[in-house]
Structure 1
């Protein structure tokens, strides 16, 4: 009997769970070492405590309920927040078991495990999925969900609601030239001004690069919406001051209206607002417009810019720049990412954020993509000839190209054969959004590209949620961690945890991890500490014109020469 008692005592003390005993009034009678570790209270201190002293005030009623049920013979499982002795909080998963002697409950035995880390990780993943990393505003996915709920409510109450799409024309161009802290400052300045022109019941979200969405659920009187539109656009009447520099921006506003009973879905309503914002750029005197059906047929700006994209290819208006991706440990270049640029004779330099989405929509991205492949692979072949045997060129690929399936694979094969570049020196970058769209068709294309010997990378990794559960089903070789997690990294503990998790995930899946947007020595040092393998950003090099690349490579690898 003594031996059995000793074994039970050993199990009690060495358990990975907090184990404790309570009387039927909720006072602690005994607790093991793990309970001491989790709560911070010593065993002798528990003799004077009930669960009321440990549990968070807001959780007391819930804990009482579960304790009473256990005291009446029912096993209970639940989560509860506690306050440790040092004042910090923790979340526990608790099981209460009734101890029965002679057919009656005499005590309650509790077992608990600390799940604080798990809860925090779940919260981080939720934030990654539904909030914009730069502005901390809800993203488009969360906005659509809230909009759908508001539409349902407005149908019941028979009232109108308004959805606004604010397109800020020069925002992408400005953020490309600003450093990370200034980019954050500019976004925050825009948001702060915009919020002062919205009512408490209105909500706001971040859309694509240059877009913000607003939901105005309350009924607006005649003329009030027009006043609100002018009021919102007045935020651009004055420049924004960023680190002592004056930044001028211009906005245009699209407005879509739902009666609540017209059957319009959240997605349709948002697209109408977006279309109105795009259309009022050309052919309209005002910088804001209500959505009209005719806008679907007369998008003048799309046709014009689409025409210029097509003719620009034949007139050699496009060119490539290359941004190095260096090995974290040594600083030597591992890859060169090809970035397309457009210098139009009358429009000037057109931002990729402006012409690439349009090229994708109009289908001209396929011809544009083939040109980029040919140019970049030809350049990479010249690097190899100069002695850079393992230097990889990285090329961004759109969903339109991937959905060509075998035709796109054949294009890649022909380009490699024509340029003489080994497949292993070409890496194709695909964003998370692309990866998750038409998953089955794209997966087949990626598998065929892998058989060809081409490397595959997921770009902007961490900004989407669904790919975390699908990652091991795609034949990828590299994860590029989005710059939103790198910016101000030394001072952002949450981002440090996210980056560490993503680097660990890449390592477990035998993938190369690369961090984008590295702009300071401090950020680079943290990433090295986290064992991120590749680093890319202005701290190492700006995107280089093609003619500057040989000198850069020779400087980084002195033993090579170019013909």
Structure 2
């Protein structure tokens, strides 16, 4: 009879553990966050398992090596707060929980009240009728983060079969914790990338990317409700001078203060955005001329008040251009253009605010002149290619370069790409200009080869969205290759993330055709555009260029550093190369190298240079690192790494 009773008891215990394991697995499938999962498992252990107490403790990395209770269920009566357990090897570290964390293996305490090692807790355990216990370590990513402890009211309550099932439960729980943490980290990274794409990292305001959609929505709402809408464009003065004299930290602080002042001056009918640099936008819905003038006056008065920073007083001023929907324009682009014209006029007059008027056509003279001169630039040979090297971080050897378009007009002088590229796009000139850029780059490659010079990698050529929209784009590319005789394996085509979103199906086909020709493809400014990480699997991509905004703040902002680390990990997993843009300091170079980044470009290594200077200074150089760099200088052992970074082609 005794044997029969023992067998029945053994089966009951195994049954209990199996039910507990089954219920715990269901909880794992339903879990949405770590805390609720832990509490559910503890509750299931006491309600279904029938145990007296179940609790989960996480180890702390403090001096006392304490254990922090994070979840419990059952008959506690202050035991956890009074237990004061430690995972250190000391008197308070003899419990099953403590030892399981310290040793990383299951700990069984079959008879607590008669165990001399547990004398520290005999009184508390006896009062609460804790007679036996088992503790099972929780291991996440190779580290024991804590343990789950289960207490029973009778001694010798846990047999071998039951312990094995509970170990399986602990293993499943560990997997659940790790999965939730990975999912949470992924969600945070995606949210961070989304926020960087649509919100200004400095002020937290909607950025230029986001503004386009917000303005379109506001115009649509104004049209539907037959309301007037005003668009403010605020341009601040003296920010550049402050940056140059006192550093960007001071200028950035002032920009944040201005953003806060603007948000404090407007009500719910207005929206503030940062347009870029020292420009801000305000979309003022349901506005009247009287309200608009008053708001403009208050803004100018607010920003004229001195800004105190680091025991210094800084004074700035500003110019505001204002345009109305529907009187001045009925599209976001035209409304911004009108506000910009009004701002330019008042800025030229010394500052203040100005409402757009139709007789401001003379302000278009510059743009029209740019259009006229740009259409002649190709024929007259006024466009030039400059080159900026891509550098291997470890040894400083060049492993390719990026071709950058520059314009020197005999009448206008040097014109910034930021000014003439939008004009070229507006006039539909980018297909012709883009073909010239590719052809010129190929001619330079051919020239270098004829002289026996080696760029040790590919030449990157930027391709605009308008070029991809050109129905003859692939024909233009094929014609350049035929005329120059340069192999496409020498070229890397760079496009921005926004290009991928215009017509994803068509873009995918064009990119596959380009890959079929032998080109490699890079995504420029990765992480700041509209596309999601899912597009990396959809499009034939070889390289991700990490946007300089992440690199700029990575030494001070752990979020930016985490984004870079995430991009590098994703690229490695998918077999993609990475290039960090905008490297300006030795500290940034070292930090990127520690994260596993191989290639970079930026002013720290070299500014963009004309073809002749680039040929003489860079193609013949062994190392492009400054003399004060801590990186190792090139050696024969670096060849394999540089060859791998550069790809199979060497120009």
**TM-score when normalising by structure 1:** 0.71
Pick the aligned partner of 1:444 from 509, 516, 533: 509
By percentage of residues, which structure has more helix? 2
Q: How far did 1:485 drift?
A: 0.5
| 2:522 counterpart of 1:500 | no
Match of 2:405 in 1: 340
Aligned twin of 1:273 = 335
Alpha-carbon displacement from aligned partner over 1:218-277 (angstroms, at most 9, x marks no partner): 65562x523544665689989999999x99998562422469xx9x9xxx5533431213
Q: 1:389–1:215: structure 2 CA closer, same or farther, 3 Å change rule?
A: closer
RMSD of Structure 2 on Structure 1 (CA):
4.5
Q: Which of residues 470, 476, 494 is equivalent to 1:411?
A: 476
Alpha-carbon distance between aligned partners in 1 of 2:524 and 2:307, rounded to the nearest angstrom: 31
Instruction: Work out which of the two has the higher radius of gyration on C-alpha atoms and give 1 or 2.
Output: 2
Is the Cα–Cα contact under 8 Å of residues 168 and 250 in structure 1 kept in the other structure?
Answer: yes
Distance 1:334 1:252, change over 3 A: farther
Report the more deviating stretch, 550-559 or 342-351: 550-559
Q: Which residue number corresponds to residue 43 of structure 2?
A: 21
472-481 vs 387-396, greater mean Cα deviation: 387-396
Q: How does 1:56-455 map to 2 (within 5 A)?
A: 113=177, 114-115=180-181, 116-140=184-208, 142-143=210-211, 160-166=228-234, 182-183=247-248, 185-193=250-258, 195-196=260-261, 199-201=265-267, 202-207=270-275, 211-217=279-285, 219-220=287-288, 222=290, 224-226=291-293, 228-229=295-296, 232=299, 253-257=321-325, 268=330, 270-280=332-342, 290=355, 299-385=364-450, 386-388=452-454, 390-405=456-471, 407-455=472-520
Instruction: Classify 1:539/1:241 alpha carbon distance in 2 versus 1 (closer, same or farther; 3 Å).
Output: farther
1:516 to 571, 581, 596: 581
**Cα–Cα, structure 1 residues 37 and 451, in superposed 2: closer, same or farther, change >3 Å?**
same
**Displacement after TM superposition at 1:215 (Å):** 2.3
Aligned counterparts of 2:11 and 2:425: Cα–Cα separation in 1: 75
- CA drift of 1:139 comes to 2.1
Q: Secondary structure at the match of 2:282?
A: strand
Whether 2:540 is the aligned partner of 1:472: answer no
- Distance change in 2, residues 1:155/1:46 (3 Å): farther
CA distance in 2, matches of 1:146, 1:473: 29
2:53 to 9, 21, 30: 30
**Kept in 2: contact 1:166–1:277 (CA 8 A):** no
Q: 1:186 touches 1:240 (CA, 8 Å); kept in 2?
A: no
Partner Cα distance (1:310, 1:247) in 2: 42
Measured in 2, the distance between the counterparts of 1:277 and 1:154 equals 18
- Going from structure 1 to structure 2, the CA distance change for 1:155 and 1:403 (only over 3 Å counts) comes to closer
Do 2:398 and 2:456's aligned partners in 1 also have CA atoms closer than 8 Å? no
Q: CA deviation at 1:5?
A: 2.8
The 1:215/1:340 distance shift into structure 2, 3 A limit, reads same
Q: Relative to 1, partners in 2 of residues 1:382 and 1:154: Cα closer, same or farther, differing over 3 Å?
A: closer
State the alpha-carbon separation in 2 of the partners of residues 178 and 427 from structure 1.
35
Render the CA deviation track for 1:2-29: whole Å, top value 9, x for unaligned: 26635865976998863112889xxx95
- Pick aligned residue for 1:41 from 47, 69, 74: 69
**Structure 1 residues 429 and 528, CA gap change in structure 2 (3 angstroms):** same
CA–CA separation in structure 2 for the residues paired with 1:8 and 1:297: 87
Q: What's the CA shift for 1:121?
A: 3.0
Compared CA separation, residues 497 and 158, structure 1 to 2 (3 A): same
Change over 3 Å in CA distance of 1:49–1:535 after alignment to 2? farther
Matched, 1:540 2:602: no
The alpha carbon displacement at 1:552 in A equals: 1.9
Q: How far apart are 1:463 and its partner, in Å?
A: 0.4
Q: State the aligned residue count.
A: 483
Match of 1:75 in 2: none
Cα offset for 1:479?
Answer: 0.5
Q: Give the whole-Å Cα distance in 2 for the aligned partners of 1:49 and 1:464.
A: 55
Q: Distance in 1 between matches of 2:385 and 2:315?
A: 28
TM-score (norm 2): 0.63
User: Any conservation in 2 of the 1:254–1:277 contact (CA below 8 Å)?
Assistant: yes
Would the aligned equivalents of 1:31 and 1:46 in 2 still touch at CA under 8 Å? yes
The answer (yes or no) to whether the contact 2:200–2:206 under 8 Å persists in 1 is: yes
| CA drift at 1:394 | 0.9
Q: Which residue of 1 aligns with 2:13?
A: 5
* CA displacement at 1:489 relative to structure 2: 1.1
1:512: Cα distance to partner? 0.6
Distance in 2 of aligned mates of 1:391 and 1:241: 50
Per-residue Cα deviation, 1:397-416 (whole angstroms, up to 9, x for no partner) = 111111124x2222222323
Aligned to 1:487: 552
Take 1:375 and 1:454, find their aligned partners in 2: how far apart are those partners?
A: 16
SS in 2 for 1:336: strand
Q: Is the 8 A contact 1:273 1:291 kept in 2?
A: no
Q: Is the 1:427–1:457 contact (alpha carbons within 8 Å) kept by the matching residues of 2?
A: yes
- 2:583 match: secondary structure: coil
For residues 400 and 277 of structure 1, the distance between their equivalents in structure 2, rounded to whole angstroms, comes to 26
2:234 touches 2:343 (CA, 8 Å); kept in 1?
no
Report deviation, 1:426.
0.7
Gaps of at least 5 residues in structure 1 are 54-110
